[in-house]
Amino acid sequence: MSGPGPTPRRKRGNQAEITVAEVLFTPEEPQLTPAAARALLELLLHAAEQAE
């Protein structure tokens, strides 16, 4: 089965960070989308792992 499929999560790293930044710094009614919420959680988990 070839063709477009789900993108591997690792390739979305930068996109996830941009999404979080857009959510946090968008002046007009920021909304936390599920994707942004997940990205934010992943960044927090990564930061927690680095702090150990």
CA distance linking residue 40 with residue 1, whole number of Å: 33
Please say if the pLDDT value at position 33 is more than 60.
Answer: yes
Contact yes or no for 23/35 (Cβ under 8 A): no
Task: Kindly state the greatest CA–CA separation across the chain.
Answer: 43
pLDDT of residue 3: 53
- Helix intervals (H) in 1-52: 13-25, 34-51
Q: What pLDDT sits at residue 42?
A: 92
Average pLDDT over residues 27-50: 83
Q: What percent of the chain shows pLDDT beyond 90?
A: 8
Measured distance CA(28)–CA(33) in Å, rounded: 15
Separation of alpha carbons 9 and 30, rounded Å: 24
> Does residue 34 register a pLDDT over 70?
yes
